[in-house]
Structure 1
Amino acid sequence: MRKCIFFFIIISSFTTLFAQVGVNIASPTGVLHIDPGKNSPTTVTDDVVISTAGNIGLGTLAPAAKVHIAAPVGNVAFRMTDGSQTADRILMSDANGNASWGVIKGSGGYAFRVTAAKTFPNASGALMPLEGSSTQINIVSAGNYLITIRWWGATSAIGGSGAVSAYFYLRKNGTNVDAIEYYVPATANTPFTFTTVLMAANCLPGNYLQVYVTPSVGGQAWTINGSGMINPSIAVFRM
């Protein structure tokens, strides 16, 4: 009988012993409690806790949600770098709850200031450069996109009508999806400016857009970011 009682006491002790696991802490809170700085309960901002309800607490000993992050003022609570991150994006989900950074419809978009000097040959044209050496506008959220081009450039010759023109093509994954020929009054070797808009429908994350410019009327190349010119820009807006 005494052997049975002794065995029961041992089993009960093991159950109590392994009910909570602590790392760097003698009196853990929750099923698992990690105290990297060995400073709890005085400081809990560095603690990680899994409660009996299955909640995970980062910086808190009483997580009130499946993942509860309590960060001190001035500290970053959450960071996700999956390639879609950039300034002014928001965290979005697809129908299955998978998260990524994106832009919501009608919330605006983002802009590129074209700073590199570029020559667009007459009749053959070239891709519009963006910031740095890239020519691609990468799509991170599904939807229809408006691409607003604010042109600022010059040419060395003018057509007999006193105007010049160029074809602007919007390409999605290398295929033209929209185009416009834009005419503008101009003077040779004098900067001229205008704004035009193109649209790409049914874009998906991972797609990319490019703007291709082909000068036409006037017979000469167009140039950007030369002497006395302001940087052109491209604004991207998700409808």
Structure 2
Amino acid sequence: MKKRLAIALMLGGSLFIKAQIGINMSAPEAVLHVDGQKNTVSATPASYYDDVVITSSGNMGAGTKSPKTRLDLRSNEHLNALGIGGTSQTASAAKAGAMRYNSGTQDLSYSDGSSWITLAHKAPNDFVDAENSSAQSFTSGTQTALTNWTKKTDVNGNFNAGTGVFVASKTGIYIVAFTFSLASGTIANDSRYETLIQTNSASSATNKVFKCVGSYPGTNSLSNRVAGGCSGIFNLNQGDNITVSLNQALGTAKTLDTDGSLTSLSIFGL
């Protein structure tokens, strides 16, 4: 009896060693084979994109049944991004070879066993191009920020089109150009307008205003369209804001022209 039991255990152990486990599939092709959407077709590479496998050599594949490295993400549909998050661990605790993402500086670091070393990189420069066809109204004699823009380009997603506030993604030099056009209307005698580009920061050293002025001296008896602009160069810290405003003193309330191409804003970080 004992002899028979020993033989049965040996056979069972042998079968266990050679067994393959399949989840959502009846014919697994690795030691562990998970078919996420239960759609795998044998020998059809395109159908493995949602599969996860662990092979007998200890390699793990996500999107491939034949991983060539300890972790292989090279799937047929090329959605192969590797997500890396931040960590509060010290470099020595994480051990040499660990990597982390730094959200503040938007870069990656690796541990050499004692320090976090920043990988060489160049983040894309900020660039915003926007137009305004909102017909926004401006009360005479009141400075008002322009809002409700239409973004044409926003490389790093740092411009809030609704509020008109731009946030610098990194410290550097920024070139700003702003133009506007008001709908046709009467212009008061000896009137003027101001266009303003200003920064708002926790650091008073970077709070600056560029102001451009247009004037209509003397008697203005005809209805006319008022247009103008302003540009400036700013040295910004990461997180500093830029807004553009109009202060018109033309006698009555004015609205922006509804032709968006006539009111524009561009911001470029060097």
Give the TM-score taking structure 2 as reference length. Answer: 0.58
Partners of 2:257 and 2:201 lie apart in 1 by: 26
Higher relative contact order (CA 8 A, sep 6+): 1
Verify: 1:104 aligned to 2:136, yes or no. Answer: no
Verify: 1:61 aligned to 2:80, yes or no. Answer: no
Name the structure 2 match of 1:211.
243
Deviations along 1:167-207, whole A, 9 cap, x unmatched? 3333359x983311102466872232334135362224xx7
Q: Tell me by how many angstroms 1:134 deviates.
A: 0.7
Deviations along 1:11-39, whole A, 9 cap, x unmatched? 22223225x43531414235324272242
Verify: 1:165 aligned to 2:194, yes or no. Answer: yes
Name the structure 2 match of 1:237.
268
Kept after mapping to 2: 8 A contact 1:170/1:198: no
Name the structure 2 match of 1:121.
139
Name the structure 2 match of 1:194.
229
Kept after mapping to 2: 8 A contact 1:178/1:200: no
Name the structure 2 match of 1:88.
none
Verify: 1:182 aligned to 2:212, yes or no. Answer: yes
Q: 1:49 to 1:203 in 2, by over 3 A?
A: same
Verify: 1:134 aligned to 2:137, yes or no. Answer: no
Structure 1 portions without partners, runs of 5+ = 81-91, 98-102
Percent identical:
11
Name the structure 1 match of 2:19.
17
Partners of 1:166 and 1:34 lie apart in 2 by: 61
Q: 1:55 to 1:138 in 2, by over 3 A?
A: farther
Moved more, 122-131 or 142-151: 142-151
Corresponding residue pairs, total: 210
Q: Secondary structure at the match of 2:162?
A: coil
Q: Tell me by how many angstroms 1:54 deviates.
A: 4.0
Q: Tell me by how many angstroms 1:153 deviates.
A: 1.7
Letter in 2 for 1:51: I
Q: 1:128 to 1:30 in 2, by over 3 A?
A: farther
Q: Secondary structure at the match of 1:124?
A: coil
Q: Tell me by how many angstroms 1:220 deviates.
A: 6.0
Q: 1:77 to 1:68 in 2, by over 3 A?
A: same
Partners of 2:201 and 2:17 lie apart in 1 by: 62
Kept after mapping to 2: 8 A contact 1:105/1:238: no
Partners of 2:133 and 2:140 lie apart in 1 by: 21
Q: CA RMSD in A?
A: 4.1
Kept after mapping to 2: 8 A contact 1:159/1:217: no
Kept after mapping to 1: 8 A contact 2:168/2:237: no
Structure 2 portions without partners, runs of 5+ = 83-104, 111-121, 151-160
Q: Tell me by how many angstroms 1:105 deviates.
A: 4.2
Name the structure 1 match of 2:176.
148
